[in-house]
Every structure is written in C-alpha cells, then in structure tokens.
Amino acid sequence: MHPRRPALWKSIVQGIRSTRHGLASGPQTGAQTAMEYLMTYGWAIIVIAVVLGAMYSLGIFSSNTLIPTRCVAETGYYCEQPLYSNGNLIVEMGQETGKTWYSATAVFVPDNSSLSGTNPSYAIPGALESGQITNVTIYVGYAPPMQGRLYVRYEFLGSSVQYIAELGDISIRGVPITATTGQSTSTTSTTSTSTISTTTSTTVSTTIAYYYSTLTLTNNQAASAAPFQQMVKFNPSSYSAYEQNGLGNVRFYQGSTELYSWCESGCTNGSSNAIFWVRIPNGVPNGSNTISMRFYQSTNTQYDGTYAGEAPQLSSTYAQYDNGASVFNFYDNFAGSSLRAGWDYIGSYSITQNNGIVIQSSSSGSGGIYWGTAMNPQTNVLEFDAYASTFSSSVQMAWEGAGQTNPQYQIGIDTSNGYYDLFNWNSGSSQDVDMPGGIPGSYALFGLWADNAQSYATFNYGSPYSNNVGFTASTSLYPTLLAYGPDTISLAVQWVRARAYPPSGVMPSVSFGTVQA
C-alpha cells in the first residue's frame, strides 16, 4: 500500500498528468489547474508564515507573556498583588482562620522545588492576627518569569510546635516590575510603559465535584463564644453512597469558606454514629444559622490534616491527619516520644511517651505534668481521652493552680468504691462524687469544667455530675495530669483538649437537609 497523499499534492500531480496529455491531444487545462492551486495555497502558506513570524517577534509565544501575574489563594487565606522589584517577590497576604499566628515566616517554593529550610523566606514581625493583611518581601535573587507556592510556617502562643499553611499559587509575568505599595503597578522597557493589572482569586485552585447537605444550627440560648467548637453527630451509613470509607471526603463550609473539622469517632461509612467537631470562627449566634457538609467526589480524597482531620489513633500512622490544634482552644495528642514544650513537671513519677503518654507513680511518691498556660475553667471544657490502670490508687485529670496549688477540680478515683469520682480541694472540707461506669485499663472520655458555684464532670458525654463541697471559684487554672503513690498506678492519656463551653451548657442542635448536587 502507498501512503495517502495530501489533496494539494494530488492536484499538482493530476495537473502535471493533464499537461502531458494536453501536449498530445488538446488545450493545456491541466497545467492551468495546477498553477491555480499553487497560487492559492502558496500565498496562504506565505501569509501564515508572516503572521507567525510577527507574533513571535512580539513575544506572544514567550513564557514571559504566557505566565499571568497573580496569586490564587486557598480558602481561608488572602494573597494578592504579587510584584517583583530588585530581586524581591512582594505580596500582600493574610489569614482568616480564627487563630493568631506567632513566629510566622512566609516561604516561597518555586515550581519543581520542595519545601525545605533553604527556600526564600521572610520573617513576619509580631503576631499575624486572624483577618489581618500584611506585606511581605521575600528575596528570591532572580528575575521573572517565576511560578511557585506561598507557604507560612507559624506557631500558636505557648507552643513550640510548628505548623505549615499553604496560602496559594503565585506567578509573575516575565517583565521586571517596579512598584510602591499603594501605587499603580507598571512594566518598564526602553520603548514604552504599560499598566499590568493583577488578578486574585479566593477560591480553591483545584475544583472537585461534590454533593452537599445544608446543616441548620439552632441556638436557643445567648450567642456562643467565638470561636466555637460545634459538635456534629450523624449516621454515616445514611450517606454511604457519597462517602469514602474513612469519611476523608467529608468537609464543612460556611458559605464558600472551609471550616476546620475533626472526626472524633465513628469515622467510617458503615458507622451508625459519627462525631465531628467543627470550628466556627465567629461563633453561633442566637437563632437559626446554616453551614454545609460537603462530600467530595474525587476517587482519592483523604483528610488533608489541615482543614479536615481525625483523632490521632484513627490513622494508619499515628496523628497522620490530626489537626486538633487548629480546631480546639488547646490540644495535645502526645505524638512521638518527647513531651511537647509548654508542659511543666510536678513531683516524682515515671513518664513514657510513645504516641500517647503514660504517667506512672511509684512507692516513693506521686507526680505528673501541667500545661504552663492558664485558661478559664468557666469558659472552657477540659476533656481527656484516658484511663487509669487500676482503682486501687488514684490519679488526677484536673484544673489546678500552677504546680498543684489550690484551688483544684479533679477527676480522680474513689478507691473505696472502685469508681472514677469528681473532687474539689482548697485546704478545706471535701467530698467525692462518684461517677460509675468506668473500667480500669479502658479508654473513656472525661469532661471537666466549673462555674461560680461548683465543678462539673462528664463520662462519655453522659449527664454531668456536680460537686460544690470544698469548691472555690477561679477563672485562671492549668490543665494537670497526675498519678498518685504509694501504690503503683498508671494514667494513660491519648489526647487532651479544651473547647468552648456551650451557651448555658446547651450545645446548639443540628438538623440535616437533603443531599444535593
């Protein structure tokens, strides 16, 4: 078989054949046809070549002009007006996460590079408040075009744990830009000056299809604290057609802003009772309020560990997707083998940390740890995922003064009855209030808070126990974990957190709308 020839080539060949025939038998109509095709298509090819050459000379095909100047910010962050000047990348950035960032450093990671300690960076002076916008100047050392990602490393107050946020994608057209903040931005060349407008988007740069249900939060009390951690309980098996196995594709939004969420338990699509905690930055006012629950439909959507996460023991790698520090007012999962900075030590004890912590007393004494930043037990519920190894001695999961000083509100052990109990201490009379139901060596969820008159405790979200005997009100106490001798006893803790106390002690109710595309 012969390869197929283009129509133009066939026409030329036919014209040549007709010409030969015409020389012998008549007029040269075949040659005329061939010349007409050559004239028509030849001029067209010449015109196209001239146009392409002109476009190339104008730089239309250059990467300098194909790359836009813009910053595409992820939800919850602000990134706008990226500029280049004298080796520096200049950009306006900010965050609206509901938390204050300390020791923040902006980092530019060029495409085809990875985040490391050698990337161009800029230390942001002072604290970066939620809702604050600031200018950063990052020395990159080369001229545009440039493309990459903007990150921020930061810490929370009283913590040495470093977090990383991806603010968005940055690209700058390949023309040096000279600008002053607040003035117009111009490109400069030897022949002309023209204005370049920067474009900014505050939507997620990757579009993922999703289904969603509108959630109505009903608060019949006064407005909640802000931020507020809202409990969302639902039956995952009712939504299994939209969910991935570990519920890693579930997200929560307020309008177009993604909310921080953390799955505590029941985190599978076959569960009948899942508990999520959703951080609402501005709180829940009185009345009816709406957020949405989305089910991303990408085939490989997992928790991202930033906005969406789960309890540390639920991941195949401990704390792989745990974002509890972004959801709760205080949080520690005791990941790794070293105690996080911010904890202080008390007394005589043995501590073992290996993705969770075990505090063990001895015959020679008692001891443990307390968090070095005071909080208000009247506005925060302190919760522990923990257990005592035996009921023959005692432990403390407590609000206390610094270094085990008074007053103290404790969840401990009534050794005479073999129960966890609620206990107050302030160098006066005291009395145990038993909390039946706990089993030594079995993890349970304990909650502890107070008001002006008494302390309160819960066991696995049950009805609260209260105790006013030996109680002294305080608005500044410290989370404390202790194990008591002389008998050997261990207190094992998976995680500890503080969340906002609900309005008048009543969590706003949640109703679910129909799932929609």
Q: Number of helices and strands (H, E) in the chain?
A: 4, 36
pLDDT of 210? 86
The predicted-structure confidence for 237-254, as pLDDT tens digits, reads as follows: 999 989 989 999 999 999
pLDDT of 465? 96
**Residues 128/177, Cβ–Cβ less than 8 Å:** no
pLDDT of 411? 95
Report the C-alpha gap between 350 and 362 in whole angstroms.
8
332-338: long-range contacts, CB 8 A cutoff, minimum separation 24: 332/371, 332/495, 332/496, 332/497, 333/494, 333/495, 334/493, 334/494, 334/495
Position 116 confidence tier, pLDDT thresholds 50, 70, 90:
confident
Position 113 confidence tier, pLDDT thresholds 50, 70, 90:
confident
Residue 37 pLDDT greater than 60, yes or no: yes
pLDDT of 416? 87
Higher pLDDT, 238 or 364: 238
Say which range, 77-91, 185-199, 259-273, 281-295, has the weakest mean pLDDT.
185-199
Residue 182 pLDDT greater than 50, yes or no: no
Report the C-alpha gap between 38 and 484 in whole angstroms.
101
How do the residues of the chain divide into helix, strand and coil, expressed in percent and rounded to 5?
15, 45, 45
**Residues 491/482, Cβ–Cβ less than 8 Å:** yes
Its pTM stands at 0.62
Mean pLDDT of 450-461: 96
Crossing angle (nearest 10°) for helices 7-25 and 29-57: 150
Position 417 confidence tier, pLDDT thresholds 50, 70, 90:
confident
Residue 92 pLDDT greater than 50, yes or no: yes
pLDDT of 291? 96
Coil, strand or helix at 396: strand
Report the C-alpha gap between 303 and 121 in whole angstroms.
28
Position 452 confidence tier, pLDDT thresholds 50, 70, 90:
very high
Position 4 confidence tier, pLDDT thresholds 50, 70, 90:
very low
Report the C-alpha gap between 355 and 333 in whole angstroms.
7
